[in-house]
Amino acid sequence: MVKVAQCWDDGVTNDIRLIELLKKYHAKATFNLNPGLHEEKRQEPLWVPAGYADWSFKGFRCGKVGKAEMLSIYRGFQVASHCWRHENADAHPLPVFVKAATDAKHFLEDLFQQECPGFAWPCGIATPEAADALRDAGFAYGRMVTSTEHVEAYEHPMMLKPSCHVHDGVFYRRFAEAKARNGIFYFWGHSYEMLDSAGLWEQMERKLDFLSSDPEVEWVDVIDLVRPARNSGK
């Protein structure tokens, strides 16, 4: 058996299309959200026009899910804190950073009426001090962006490394290696990285189909990687 987990960052409108695929293939996933960056209504994505000066991904400005529709879109999946407004751990005094992380946690727990012990480090930036502070504040794990060949060998749950990014060339190899040792395969990404490209979305669907068709795959939530007894009632 191989445990497979995935998570997606930033609460962008491409998540809606991704969630349709996840449901089709009965795949679990965690979405890492920054509630302070969402408007009440949905912001649609756009290919940026000439003269556009703000950040975009390859010229595609990702849309943002509306706060009012967050619950209906992500219901049935895990949601986790990605800070209130995507604050980086090294850019703020520690108490300010911890508040940003826990404000998002509490907002999501109120909205979804479920425990939200997960965290994803904005921009993958973690510090040992912040890791200890977030653990003390009630978080169970923090996802980094640096990859590892052995997800299960983490030293500090607040420094949890994934197997790879969804578009990493080692995706299938890392999966095969995890399966060979009855281990964990954990990938992450941003759904906006699929743009509105038919080829990239088709590639994503092939990955989900490949994983869900494998009888040895057990989809798990990220929280199950650090709390393996969660589903066994222990």
15 binds Zn ion (CB under 5 A): no
Q: What angle do CA 70, 89, 114 make, to 5 degrees?
A: 30
Cβ contacts of 175 within 8 Å, gap of 6 or more: 2, 4, 163, 185, 211
193 binds Zn ion (CB under 5 A): no
Angle between helices 128-136 and 94-112 (to 10 degrees): 40
The smaller minimum CB distance to Zn ion, of residues 98 and 104, is found at: 104
224 binds Zn ion (CB under 5 A): no
The smaller minimum CB distance to Zn ion, of residues 10 and 15, is found at: 10
What are the structure tokens assigned to 215, written together?
A: 């009888």
Position closest to Zn ion via CB: 9
Q: Bridge-partner residues for 2, per DSSP?
A: 217
The smaller minimum CB distance to Zn ion, of residues 86 and 150, is found at: 86
CB 58 → Zn ion: shortest distance, Å?
A: 16
What are the structure tokens assigned to 57, written together?
A: 């991904």
The smaller minimum CB distance to Zn ion, of residues 9 and 87, is found at: 9
10 binds Zn ion (CB under 5 A): yes
Query: Of 7-15, 51-59, 63-71, 160-168, which segment contacts Zn ion by CB under 5 A?
Result: 7-15
CB 9 → Zn ion: shortest distance, Å?
A: 4
Query: Of 3-11, 69-77, 199-207, 216-224, which segment contacts Zn ion by CB under 5 A?
Result: 3-11
Q: For 6-16, b where at least 16 C-beta lie within 10 A, e where not — what string?
A: bbbbbbbbbbe
Q: Using an 8 Å Cβ cutoff, are 65 and 71 in contact? A: no
The smaller minimum CB distance to Zn ion, of residues 10 and 103, is found at: 10
Compute the distance between CA of residue 101 and CA of residue 85 in angstroms, rounded to an integer. 9
Query: Of 10-18, 20-28, 95-103, 172-180, which segment contacts Zn ion by CB under 5 A?
Result: 10-18
9 binds Zn ion (CB under 5 A): yes
Compute the distance between CA of residue 8 and CA of residue 226 in angstroms, rounded to an integer. 18
The smaller minimum CB distance to Zn ion, of residues 10 and 224, is found at: 10
Which residues would be at the binding site for Zn ion (CB under 5 A)? 9-10
